[in-house]
Chains A and B, each alone.
Chain A
Amino acid sequence: QQKVQQSPESLIVPEGGMASLNCTSSDRNVDYFWWYRQHSGKSPKMLMSIFSNGEKEEGRFTVHLNKASLHTSLHIRDSQPSDSALYLCAASINYGNEKITFGAGTKLTIKP
């Protein structure tokens, strides 16, 4: 069964700083990665997706993907207190009836 590993488990970043989160899949058949953000007591909300090697930027958020190493990373620049949340990485495999597997998450705290 595919595993999605995220690191670090928790991260504290000063307001205005850069947060870097990592995610690796154990399955070579992974095709797609998503990043979700989950504020405390709320449901996960999809933040960004990446399917091809390289980099994708949306506002303060940048994701990288290296398919050879099955590694994706999420970088948040100019971090704000509202960015404090659990960040979940999800990976999908194309078996035809694929399910999406989530990692355990990185708990990000932005300190004012």
Chain B
Amino acid sequence: DPKIIQKPKYLVAVTGSEKILICEQYLGHNAMYWYRQSAKKPLEFMFSYSYQKLMDNQTASSRFQPQSSKKNHLDLQITALKPDDSATYFCASSGDINNQAPLFGEGTRLSVL
């Protein structure tokens, strides 16, 4: 059974719309992350959270907003979607934010038309 659940697996959106990508982990991990990967760019770190607090944000645009309602949840809200946002978004988690390798979910593949 997958321990990091990402929903939906596939998502198609129109330019200018808003979407929320869901991530839940059942590993008891304290740190959660979002990464993005596209054909144009390699796997790119976006955010890290530890105990529901934002630790690092490497996303230039405020259109990307992580939301952590519970310790094992880290959703990603994306507003004013652009075609360039098309990518696979991976949620990941680790036991601790200090140098434990992240375990990745299966990703949400987003296409913006």
Chain A residues with CB under 8 Å of chain B are: 31-32, 34, 42-46, 49, 51, 88, 90, 92, 94, 97-105
A-B pair count, CB < 8 Å, reads 52
Chain B residues with CB under 8 Å of chain A are: 33, 35, 42-45, 48, 50, 55-56, 58, 90, 97-99, 101-107
Whether B48 pairs with A34 at a CB distance below 8 angstroms is no
| Alpha-carbon separation in the docked complex, A20 to B57 (Å) | 33
Whether A92 pairs with B56 at a CB distance below 8 angstroms is no
Instruction: Give the top 3 A-B pairs by smallest Cβ distance, nearest first.
Output: A104-B42, A43-B104, A97-B55
Whether A100 pairs with B45 at a CB distance below 8 angstroms is yes
Whether A105 pairs with B42 at a CB distance below 8 angstroms is yes
Please indicate the chain A residues that have their CB under 8 angstroms from the CB of B101 in the complex: 34, 46, 49, 90, 100
Whether A43 pairs with B42 at a CB distance below 8 angstroms is no
> In the complex, how many angstroms separate the beta carbon of B67 from the nearest chain A beta carbon?
19
> In the complex, how many angstroms separate the beta carbon of B101 from the nearest chain A beta carbon?
5
> In the complex, how many angstroms separate the beta carbon of B37 from the nearest chain A beta carbon?
9
Which chain A residue shows the least CB distance to B53? A97
| Alpha-carbon separation in the docked complex, A40 to B92 (Å) | 18
Please indicate the chain A residues that have their CB under 8 angstroms from the CB of B107 in the complex: 43
| 27 examples of A-B residue contacts, CB within 8 angstroms | A32-B99, A42-B106, A43-B104, A44-B43, A44-B90, A45-B104, A46-B101, A46-B102, A88-B43, A90-B101, A94-B98, A94-B99, A97-B50, A98-B97, A98-B98, A99-B45, A99-B48, A99-B56, A100-B45, A100-B101, A100-B102, A102-B35, A102-B42, A102-B45, A103-B42, A104-B42, A105-B43
